[in-house]
Each structure stands twice: as structure tokens, then as C-alpha cells.
Structure 1
Amino acid sequence: MSAMFEELDYAPTPIGAISLRRRHILALKTDVIEILLGEEHLMSSLFTASEVALADAGLRALEGENLEILIGGLGLGYTAQAALAHEAVSRLTVVDLLEPVIRWHREGLVPMKTELADDPRCQLVQGDFFGLAASEDGFDSTHPARQYDAILIDIDHTPDRLLHGGSKGFYTTEGFHKLQRFLKPGGVMGLWSDEAPDAAITARLATAFKEAWAEPVVFPNPLQDGREVTQAVYLGRKG
């Protein structure tokens, strides 16, 4: 059996100290990799279904080949990995505020090792996703106002329960309209949420997008005897 606990890395960031740790769960006889911001859990390798669903739902809503995808929030990389599993994706850009998170992928400290960093289709970029979404030039300094087929976001816990103040004003009609400048016609925005679908959030998206809908993601929690957990992916399509 492996050691019960190991801190793989710890680093200060502009929004607080972040740590990557490995924890052995005796009841499951397995190791789990977790990201914490201070004492707040951000992501666990034990629960990845909704991160994967964010990519799959966003790509399922698109047609065509040579798709260009942007992801806000890297974490352990499961949304990005799922996006790259779609053969139609030719270019993936992942923006994360925190340099240590990107470094963990380049150094192979995460469960998927250096898979994302080594994929020629994938570019890992340190930056403020919400600041870039509100800017004139957008997310690509070499191609101002570049548009994407899909923009998938997994940063805050929910659109109403924010990780930090940097996203204030984004989850509004005005914020969604600004983001659409960087979506191709018919392009899709996807939002991950830690909670079950909320009709009020879907209605908020509908004030800005031609189409808006939510997809529940249901999966068993092995730490609670398989009790089902429901999270959500919200989607909006540009006209």
C-alpha cells in the first residue's frame, strides 16, 4: 500500500496558496489526486464525469471538422483530454490563471502525466480568462479577436458561487454578449457547474444566446455507498 498522504507541490498564487496532493483512500483501496486552493477543494481525480461531459456536450453540439476549441480552466486536465479525444478537434487552447497548474502538466505531476503538454494540437496558456473575455483582443495575442467553435469554462463552482472575484460580472447578459465576440457563428459556450441544473441560470443564458439549455450529469459517489450526485453542464449557442 502507498503512503496515506503526500503533498506533491505547494505554491503561492495571486488568489492564494495552491497545492497538489495525493491521498490514499483506504475504503476504496485507491490513490486520489486533488487540487486545493487554501483549504478549498477545487478538483479530484475521483470525480471527473462532469468535467468530461463538459467537453463531450460542447463538441456534440457542433458540426464539421477542424474545430478550434478554447477551454477556460485547466485543473487536472480531464475536460481538455476529453476534447482532444474528438478527432474533429484540430486546435485546443487552455487558459488558466495559475502558473503552478500549467507547470504540473508540463512536469507530469498529474494523473495524465504530460499528455496535454505533449499534444501538438494543445496549447497551455497562463492568463486571466475573464479579463481576456472582456478585452478587445480576446485570447490569442498573435491573432487578435480570434474566434472559436466552442468556449468551455470550468473555473467557478457554479455561475452563482464564485471561486474568487475575478469573474464578477461575467455570468450576466452583458458578460455573455462580450464572450460571443470570440465565438464563430453557431458556436457554443459551455459552463460547468457543481450543482444540478438551475432553470434560473438557463434563463439567464437565454437572454444572451440564440439557444440555451442545461444537461444534467449524474454519477455515483463511491465515498457515499454509490449515492448519485447530479451536476450540470450549461450550453448556449450563438446565432
Structure 2
Amino acid sequence: MSRLFEELDYAPTPIGAISLRRRHILSLKTDVFEILLGEEHLMSSLFTASEIALAEKGLAALKGNRLDVLVGGLGLGYTARAVLQDERLNALDVVDLLEPVIRWHREGLVPMKTELADDPRCRLVHGDFFALAASQDGFDRERPGRRYDAVLIDIDHTPERLLHGGSKGFYTPLGFESVQRFLKPGGIMGLWSDEAPDDAITDLLAGAFDEAWAEPVVFQNPLQDGREVTQAVYLGRKT
């Protein structure tokens, strides 16, 4: 059996100290990996349904093959891995502000070990997603102005509950329109939220995209006797 608790890494970042830890939950007989920013929980390997749904629902809305995809926010990597499982994928860029998170994937400290770092289709990029979205050149330094079939964002808890001040001003029609510059015609922007669908957020997307909708993601919480939890994926399509 694993240790009941182990801190795998701890590192300072520009927005505070971040840590990766592993806990063994006796009642479930399983190890759970968690990322914390200070005392705030960012992600757990026990709850990944909506992170995976962000990739699956976002890519399901796309037509064609040889898809180029950008994921904003790496975390434990479940959104990125779900993108890589789509057989139509050509290339995946994953942008994360926190260098230690990228290092954990390269060193194999996360549950999926070095799976993402080893995949030749996947590039892990250290950068500020929101600053890059607002820039003239976009997300690819080697190919300024590069456009993607999908941009999938899993960074803040919700548009109202921000991880840090760097995303302030992004969740507006103007902020969403900045991303559209780097989407191909018919491309999709996806947005993750750890709360149930909110019409106000869908309406906000509709103010910037030609088509916008919300997808509920329902799963059971094993720590609360299977109580159902509802989170959301928001999608906007550029025509």
C-alpha cells in the first residue's frame, strides 16, 4: 500500500507556492493526486470527468481531420490526454503559466507519468495563456498568428472565480473575440467550469461567437456516497 500522504513537490511560482501531493484514501483503496496553489485545491485525479469532457465535447463539435488543438492549462493532464486520444488529431499545444507543472509531467511525477511529454504530437509550452491570447502573434512563437481548430481552456474555476488576476478582463466579448483571431473558420473555443451551466455565461459567449451553448457534465462523488455533481463545458463556434 502507498503512504497515506506524501508531498511529491513544492515550488514557488509568480502567483504563489504550488504543490503536488499524493494521498491514499483507505475507503476507496486508491491513490489520489492533488495540485494545490497555497491552500487552494486546483485539481484532483479523483474528479476528471469534466476535464475529459472539455476535450471530447469540444472536438466532437469539429468536422474534418488533421486537427490542430490548443489547451490552456495543463494541470494533471486529463484534458490534454483526451485530446490525444482523438484519432483525427494532428498536433496539440498545451500552454501553462506554471513551470513546475510542466516539469512534473517531464519528470513523471503525475499519474500518467511522462505520457504527454513523450508524445511527439504534444508540445508543452511555458507561457501565460491570457497574455498570449491578447497579443498580436498568438500562442506559437515559431509561427506568429497560427490558427487552431480548437482552443480549450481549463484554468479558472469559473469566469467569476479566478485563479489569479492575470485573467481579469478575459471573460468578456472582447476577450473572447481575441481568441477568435487564432481560430480557423468553424473552429471551437471551449471553456471549463466547476459549476453547473449558467445562462449568463452562455449569453456572454453568444455575444462574441456565432453559435454558443453549454454542456452539463454529471458525475458521482465517491467521497459523498455517490452524490451527483454537475459541472459545465461551454462551447462557442466561429463561422
Length-normalised TM-score, structure 1: 0.99
Spell out, residue by residue over 1:132-154, the C-alpha distance to the aligned partner (whole angstroms, 9 max, x if none).
Answer: 00000000111101000000000
- The answer to whether 1:220 aligns with 2:223 is no
Query: What is the correspondence of 1:99-110 to structure 2 with a 5 Å cutoff?
Result: 99-110=99-110
Structure 1 CA distance for aligned equivalents of residues 21 and 49 of structure 2: 20
Secondary structure at 1:200 match in 2:
helix
Give, in angstroms, the shift of residue 29 of structure 1. Answer: 1.4
Partner of 1:79: 79
Q: Are positions 1:13 and 2:18 aligned together?
A: no
How many pairs are equivalent? Answer: 239
Question: 2:142 & 2:103 partners in 1: Cα distance?
Answer: 22
Cα distance in 1, alignment partners of residues 83 and 67 from structure 2: 10
Q: Which residue of 2 aligns with 1:176?
A: 176
Report the RMSD for the aligned CA atoms in angstroms. 0.5
TM-superposed deviation, 1:170: 0.4
Which residue of the partner structure matches residue 141 of structure 1? 141
Between the aligned partners of 2:183 and 2:196, the Cα distance in structure 1 is: 26
* Residue 26 in structure 1 maps to residue 56 in structure 2: no
Cα-to-partner distance string for 1:92-133 (whole Å, 9 max, x where unaligned): 000000000000000000000000000000000000000000
Shift of 1:2: 1.9
Q: Post-superposition shift, 1:30?
A: 1.0
Q: Report % sequence identity.
A: 80
For 1:24 and 1:62, locate their aligned partners in 2 and report how far apart those are by CA, in whole Å.
39
Equivalent-residue separation in structure 2 for 1:86 and 1:2 (angstroms): 33
Q: Normalized against structure 2, the TM-score is what?
A: 0.99
Q: Counterparts of 1:6-155 in structure 2 under 5 Å? A: 6-155=6-155
Q: Provide structure 2 residue ranges, at least 5 long, that are not aligned to the other structure.
A: none
TM-superposed deviation, 1:3: 1.2
AA in 1 matched with 2:90: S
Distance 1:214 1:89 in 2: 23
Q: Which runs of 5+ in 1 are unaligned?
A: none
Q: What is the aligned partner in structure 2 of residue 204 from structure 1? A: 204
Shift of 1:165: 0.3
The amino acid that maps onto 1:19 is S
Detail structure 1 runs of 4+ shifted over 3 Å in the superposition. Answer: none
> How many Å apart are 1:233 and its aligned residue?
0.1
